[in-house]
Structures are given as C-alpha cells and as structure tokens.
Amino acid sequence: MLCPVRKNDEGFAEEPNEAELNMIRNDPQRLETIRLRQSDIAWWMRTRPARLKPHSGGRVEPGAASAPG
C-alpha cells in the first residue's frame, strides 16, 4: 500500500488510517516488499505519470512541470 487506494473527492490520495498502517506494520513480508520497492528507481519511474508524449521528440509539453536541475 505504498500507493493508497482511497482518494478524496478531488482525486488526491487520502492519508492512511491506523488500520491501513497496521496492515503494513504487522506483515513482515509486505513490509520487506515495500522497502525493496522504495529503493528501486525503476519501480518509482513506473509509478509516476508520463509527462512526455512518445512522438514529442523528448520535448516537454507546454504547461507541464519539469524536474528541477
């Protein structure tokens, strides 16, 4: 549950409640899986929405936020 399922009326993720946190805390195998995912850059990239269109030639769409740096 690194990516919460519950969302508010605006579509944003809700804060996890105590029961949801305990589902992770009390399951050592699940906790290990989440920790491994947090250290895997490929997993993080798959969870992020794509900001570049395949045919854009690498250009960022106007109005899209770009990464600092």
pLDDT per position as a tens digit, 27-68: 999 889 888 888 888 888 887 776 655 655 556 666 655 555
CA distance 49 to 45: 8
| Residue of higher predicted confidence among 59 and 23 | 23
In the three-class reduction of DSSP (H, G, I as helix; E, B as strand; rest coil), residue 30 is classed as helix
Report domain extents, the chain. 1-48
Q: Report residue 42 as tokens.
A: 């490929």
